Amino acid sequence: MNELTFTGTAFSFGDNINTDYLISSRRKRDSINPEELKSYIMEDIRPTFFTELGGEAAIIVAGSNFGCGSAMEVAAQILVVNHIQVVLAKSFARSFFRNCINNGVLPLIADTDGIKEGDALQVALSSREIKLTNVSRRTTQSYPPLGGTVQEILAAGGLVAYMHRSVT
Amino acid sequence: MPAQTIIEKLLSRHIGHMVYQGETHTFPVDFILTNDASGPLSLQYLEEMEIREIPYPDRILMVIDHYVPCPDAAVAKLQQQLYDFAARHPVGLIPAGEGIAHQVSDELGYLKPGTLAIGGDSHTTTYGYLNCAGIGMGASDVAMAMAQGELWLMVPETLLVEFTGSLKPGISGKEVALFLVSQLGAERANYCAVEFTGSGLTALSMDDRRVICNMLAECNVKCALMPWDDVAEEYGQLRGIESKGAVAADKGCSYREIIKVDLSSIDWLVALPHSPYQVAELASLGDMPIDMVLLGTCTNGRLADFVAAHRLLQDWGGAFRVETILVPASRQIYLELIASRLAADFLQAGAMVLPPSCGPCCGSSPGVPRNGFKVVSTANRNFLGRMGNTTAGIYLASPLVATAAALTGRLVKPLAGGWQV
């Protein structure tokens, strides 16, 4: 696998960020098109979030149990359309973890305590390791690589691309 | 060969060789469930994957249960996509009003012990009461399973819950579920299968087991698995469910953790806003005033739940003092409520009875609380804004506690003679 690098500004969230906070079920009534829904990201707990993102690449930094609750996949897609390719959390809910991978978002289980809102972060994936660099604080952490199929799906950019790749 | 947990053995049978926790394999799936919330997105994934052929349409069930009856043109367009797909492929499609997927999939006979089921709905874990591995998935995984009839899974570790003792009168599977959710939290069973055993199981009805398996979704479990014991066998015989695929754990298999629960130690419990993990004893809440009650959903919308509620209504008399919404989990249950005249008594007491559906549980169907409302709900989730209003607070409780709240406008103990055996 070729090296894959993501960069972005850290936005901090707490524990137990559920998928209803990422995108509310009441919004999904109107559309399931993430482009149309993207401005509602985190609206119930951080109404200014979409404006703060400003269309720039961002990395969400959270505590434990990120993505708990409903398995609805729009919660992962809303990250992609908002240029959030990486979520760092102390732990993830299992269904959300899968949804992230399938949409080309890296859910990295990491020690997020030392990372502050606004830090410039870089995440580099290789076949040997996942390296997390806090550019602002000049620190690095190393994590084990994702395994087999999971890594292939993420490298392809998500499940749809992976399916096309494995067919052709 | 090393001893196996239920999930290890169930998955081994599906792939034809022994598999153990931590291994990742691709497994054939017996049953694929989707609904009008996640289904349209699964169909979009199929479209993007350029999938034209569906290899096992008879294994797929699409249930219109979230937006019922259809509230507007935008939802109508999404629901139409499911109908269009069902017109092209011979999959099962259950129209609005028949009930919640987790109820009708059993009523229609899609489930039997040993089934590997995946669903585009987190509460697919419910199927564990039938000794099925029910795994909640996102829309893309459901699409993948629809396209290929199989899916990659990591064989999970298993956590064993051992029940002893029996429940005090008036305490139900809902209190057991709330207790387990508060103990396991989000982390302790994340990615795990949870298995149940112990002498206490004989006292837990199939309905109690449904509630427990349903609510373990809140603990991020991959699946919850009840054994196929005498209680299950009796239910199976009554329903004509073939039991030869039932899976039991081997003696000496490897558990991540064993948790012992004395059922007789559990009292009335309530999960406080806005987290199912934040559970308090009802007695500690000081007769708190409440504004609205929801009785129903895939967690507690079955006949036994309404029978318990009705007994308290009869015993205490009077009428519901706050807005009270009832949602039977299926048309069959609704018909039973009518035939037994329970529905008439509930309506007489001031309740609204909504069509069988997910109802107001996730704000997808009408029944939104007013500003600042404290709602007592028998559902499974109480996140901020869950019922469609971020200023409301949701308290999760059993049907009896919810009924007592409806009758008094307060969180009080549902003490009565009527239902105490």
Nearest to B385 among A20, A159, A160 (CB): A20
Q: What is the pLDDT of residues A22-62, one digit of tens each?
A: 998 878 777 889 999 999 999 999 999 999 999 999 999 99
Nearest to B75 among A29, A70, A163 (CB): A29
Nearest to B138 among A20, A65, A98 (CB): A98
Q: Respond yes or no on whether ipTM tops 0.90.
A: no
Q: What is the pLDDT of residues B296-343, one digit of tens each?
A: 999 999 999 999 999 999 999 999 999 999 999 999 999 999 999 999
A chain contacts of residue B386, beta-carbon cutoff 8 Å: 20, 25
Could you tell me if B156 and B21 are in contact, meaning their C-beta atoms sit under 8 angstroms apart?
yes
Kindly provide the residue ranges of all beta strands, DSSP E only, lying in B198-302, ordered along the sequence: 223-225, 257-262, 269-271, 279-281, 292-296
Q: How distant is the Cα of A132 from the closest Cα of chain B, in angstroms?
A: 23
Joined together, the tokens standing for residue B9 give 């053995």
Q: How many residues does chain B have?
A: 421
Q: What is the pLDDT of residues B356-369, one digit of tens each?
A: 999 899 888 899 99
In whole angstroms, give the CA distance from residue B170 to residue B10.
35
- The confidence score (pLDDT) of residue B419 equals 46
Q: What is the pLDDT of residues B100-130, one digit of tens each?
A: 999 999 999 999 999 999 999 999 999 999 9
What value does the mean pLDDT take over residues A9-34? 90
In whole angstroms, give the CA distance from residue B139 to residue B146.
10
- The confidence score (pLDDT) of residue B267 equals 97
In whole angstroms, give the CA distance from residue B203 to residue B84.
46
Inspect the interface and report whether the beta carbons of B138 and A99 lie closer than 8 Å. Answer: yes
- Inform me whether the C-beta atom of residue A156 falls under 8 Å from chain B C-beta atoms: no
Select from B47, B77, B141, B275 the residue whose CB has the most chain A CBs within 10 Å, as the one to mutate to test that interface: B141
What value does the mean pLDDT take over residues A137-153? 89
- The confidence score (pLDDT) of residue A166 equals 64
- The confidence score (pLDDT) of residue A149 equals 81
Beta bridge partners of B134: B117
- Inform me whether the C-beta atom of residue A144 falls under 8 Å from chain B C-beta atoms: no
- The confidence score (pLDDT) of residue A83 equals 97
- The confidence score (pLDDT) of residue B420 equals 47
Give me the torsion for CA of A20, A23, A25, A31, rounded to 10°.
-160
- Inform me whether the C-beta atom of residue A32 falls under 8 Å from chain B C-beta atoms: yes
In whole angstroms, give the CA distance from residue A122 to residue A136.
10
Which chain A residue shows the shortest CA-CA distance from B71? A29
- The confidence score (pLDDT) of residue B417 equals 57
Inspect the interface and report whether the beta carbons of B50 and A69 lie closer than 8 Å. Answer: no
Inspect the interface and report whether the beta carbons of B191 and A28 lie closer than 8 Å. Answer: no
Which chain A residue shows the shortest CA-CA distance from B46? A160
What value does the mean pLDDT take over residues A98-112? 95
- Inform me whether the C-beta atom of residue A158 falls under 8 Å from chain B C-beta atoms: yes
> Model's pTM, two decimal places?
0.92
Which chain B residue shows the shortest CA-CA distance from A16? B186
- Between CA B89 and CA B58, with CA B146 as vertex, the angle to 5 degrees is 50
B chain contacts of residue A81, beta-carbon cutoff 8 Å: none
Other Cβ atoms within 10 Å of A41 Cβ, number: 23
Inspect the interface and report whether the beta carbons of B138 and A163 lie closer than 8 Å. Answer: no
In whole angstroms, give the CA distance from residue A101 to residue B230.
41
How large a percentage of chain B has pLDDT more than 90? 95
| Bridge-based pairing state of the strands B92-94 and B269-271 | unpaired
Q: How distant is the Cα of A135 from the closest Cα of chain B, in angstroms?
A: 30
The residue behind tokens 């018909």 is: B335
Could you tell me if B233 and B259 are in contact, meaning their C-beta atoms sit under 8 angstroms apart?
no
Mean pLDDT of all residues belonging to chain B = 96
Q: How distant is the Cα of A19 from the closest Cα of chain B, in angstroms?
A: 10
**CB pairs A-B closer than 8 Å:** 127
Nearest to B49 among A74, A76, A163 (CB): A163
B chain contacts of residue A20, beta-carbon cutoff 8 Å: 362, 383-386
Q: Which residues in chain B land under pLDDT 70?
A: 417-421
- The confidence score (pLDDT) of residue A2 equals 61
- Inform me whether the C-beta atom of residue A149 falls under 8 Å from chain B C-beta atoms: yes
In whole angstroms, give the CA distance from residue B184 to residue B383.
18
